[in-house]
Amino acid sequence: MNELKLPEVVIKTDFEFPGQTNVYKGKVRDVYSIGDNLLVMVASDRISAFDHILPKGIPFKGQVLTQIAEHFLNATKDIVPNWLVATPDPVVSAGYNCKTYRVEMVIRGYLAGHAWREYKAGKRILCGVPMPDGMKENDRFPEPIITPATKADEGHDEDISREDIIAQNIIPEVEYELMEDYTRKLFQRGTEMAGKQELILVDTKYEFGNRNGEIVLIDEIHTPDSSRYFYADGYAERQEKDEVQKQLSKEFVREWLMENGFQGLEGQQMPMMPDEFVQTVSSRYIELYEMIVGAKFQPVVSESITERIDQNVKIFLNEWKE
């Protein structure tokens, strides 16, 4: 039996770009500050679940995330301004440095994932928002619900209500209301775009920042790391028969971890992913790209991904003028 040979992946980065002033390394992205006004965001091939980074990278995941995010940021500029300036490399986004709001705007069209786990445990209020009785897993909500979460630098993000965000002055009321309005409009646009590709946008999250007094959409949107998608074909029949929905998201990675005894709880051992499963995850990410974007994925293979990134970013920085 031939040993599976996986393509090179980017697990960690350690760049020194011209004008670099700071580096922030998140679960998936490494963000390099250039001066005061520019960020260079490198999407690694790391994958996280239950707020833990898994030990192996996923080939082409960074490219998939970067290019889906670029696709949707360009498609929603008429709704809300965003941070993106350019994508100098297939895994790099460059854009304006904004003051980040410390709340993620999570919006859910269907009872799935975290919302379903809370519902199944008997809760009917999530982040101060009531959820109707009598729902089944993956049922559609009468109207999409917004269930914010506070952004944690480390560990778990925490559910929080609209009322607490305003009462604690985490975000001023006027600004929060505008973020809610943007969230609903972005979700509607994402739903329409997914529908054209025969997908259902189940739930997602948006992050916002402030640039020169203006609310700006930042980070990624509508990617499989931030969103859950169902296949529209057969959705109603599967619900009717109480069958598992066919989905394109990171949830299947969480499910694999749970089957292997890991939910990120204290004392639990992170299982090692076999290469065959890593390849499956990579294929699922590529499949989602092709479905949601409606174009063939063109993997960019290099002898050294980090050398390519370094060269492309330096060319961009040399030419960039605000």
Question: Which residue's entry shows tokens 């092709």?
Answer: 290
Tens of pLDDT, residue by residue over 270-294, are 999 999 999 999 998 898 899 999 9
- At 151, give phi and psi (nearest 5°): -80, 125
Higher pLDDT, 286 or 248: 286
Q: Which SS3 state, helix, strand or coil, does residue 125 take?
A: strand
Residue-range domains of the chain with CATH: 20-98+273-319 (3.30.200.20), 100-248 (3.30.470.20)
Tens of pLDDT, residue by residue over 18-71, are 999 999 998 899 999 999 999 999 999 999 888 888 989 999 999 999 999 999
Q: How far apart are CA 218 and CA 187, in angstroms?
A: 15
Q: Residue 307's CB: how many other CB atoms inside 10 A?
A: 10
Q: With contact defined as beta carbons under 8 Å apart, do 74 and 171 qualify?
A: no
For residue 11, give the nearest of 73, 91, 79 by alpha carbon.
91
**What's the confidence (pLDDT) of residue 153?**
60
